[in-house]
Amino acid sequence: MGPWSRVRVAKCQMLITCFFILLLGLSVATMMTLTYFGAHFAVIRRASLEKNPYQAVHQWAFSAGLSLVGLLTLGAVLSAAATVREAQGLMAGGFLCFSLAFCAQVQVVFWRLHSPTQVEDAMLDTYDLVYEQAMKGTSHVRRQELAAIQDVFLCCGKRSPFSRLGSTEADLCQGEEAAREDCLQGIRSFLRTHQQVASSLTSIGLALTVSALLLSSFLWFAIRCGCSLDRKGKYTLTPRACGRQPQEPSLFRCSQGGPAHCLHSEAVAIGPRGCSGSLRWLHESDAAPLPLSCHLPAHRALQGRSRGGLSGCPERGLSD
């Protein structure tokens, strides 16, 4: 495969990769919107506690997700435009955006490996605080918040052998609510599903980002070295040098009107260019090339003289 074919294949791969990166950015944006405005996360975040453990984690995750979406979208747009227009600066900007997005995703993977249960612990701690304050009966607002959490997660209470609330906890879940699962288990199962989706998007994002980095670097070097496919040559018109005659051969024929008419017809056909590049007319005093008929062999010249002389030619036929 020649260099031109490799560049063409790299361009097609870059456009396809940018399309999938845009889809990935749309998916991450949808996920972050559901995370921020979804009922499961919003009901925990809105718990009016003195210190809500989940709010800080939620704000950090939402800000990181929006930053990642912006970097992926901007990098895909810049790289696609640079691929079509063969712009070296745009390709460098796309490479920078993909590099930052790659670093952000590596940081997310490291955070998930180092603290895999941080989000889960924050949500469970928030539910525990709301649950304990509601069971102690210190505030009516806490009971409303607890009821809202249990309705969203379709759970009721928490079953723990170390509970110290006694009959108050036993009277919380009655009737149909008693058949619901434990809220701790319900929150854990919901978060595991959410985290699996987030891990899948992160893995796909890493693969696409690495591919985009390799392709953008290759195309940047190709554009810099001039190995482009669609760039056409640029031509500039320069004025002709002074005194130079045109290179194209010309045939001049002398008419029966004499030397002056011959010179005038030659000037009409083609004239030498001046220094400014514009045409100028030949005057009778200017030197002009002899017509073709004047360079014929001597026996043609003799025939012409026997018929009345060469028309429009100087008397040099015999000397030739």
Locate the domains of the chain by residue range: 3-158+181-225
Whole-number pLDDT of residue 237:
52
Q: Poorest-confidence range of 154-163, 193-202, 217-226?
A: 154-163
- Rounded to the nearest 10°, the torsion over CA 35, 41, 45, 51 is -110
State pLDDT tens for residues 235-277.
Answer: 455 555 445 554 544 444 444 445 544 444 444 444 444 444 4
Q: Is the pLDDT of residue 72 over 90?
A: yes
Which residue, 71, 90, 74, is CA-closest to 82? 90
| The pTM of the whole model exceeds 0.75 | no
Euclidean distance between CA atoms 316 and 320, whole angstroms? 7
Longest dimension (CA), the chain: 146
Whole-number pLDDT of residue 47:
82
Q: How is 88-125 classified by DSSP, letter by letter?
A: HHHHHHHHHHHHHHHHHHHHHHHHHHH-TTHHHHHHHH
Length of the chain in terms of residues written: 320
State pLDDT tens for residues 181-221.
Answer: 788 888 988 998 898 999 999 999 999 999 999 999 999 98
Q: What is the mean pLDDT of residues 132-142?
A: 78
44: number of Cβ within 10 Å:
25
More confident residue, 194 or 304: 194
Contact (Cβ atoms closer than 8 angstroms) between residue 258 and residue 279? no
Q: Is the pLDDT of residue 131 over 60?
A: yes
Whole-number pLDDT of residue 170:
55
Contact (Cβ atoms closer than 8 angstroms) between residue 40 and residue 231? no
The alpha carbons of the chain give a radius of gyration, in whole angstroms, of 44
Percent of the chain residues topping a pLDDT of 70: 62
183-224 and 88-114 helices, crossing angle to 10° = 150
Q: Poorest-confidence range of 87-101, 276-290, 296-310?
A: 276-290
Whole-number pLDDT of residue 282:
44
Which residue, 76, 68, 65, is CA-closest to 32? 65
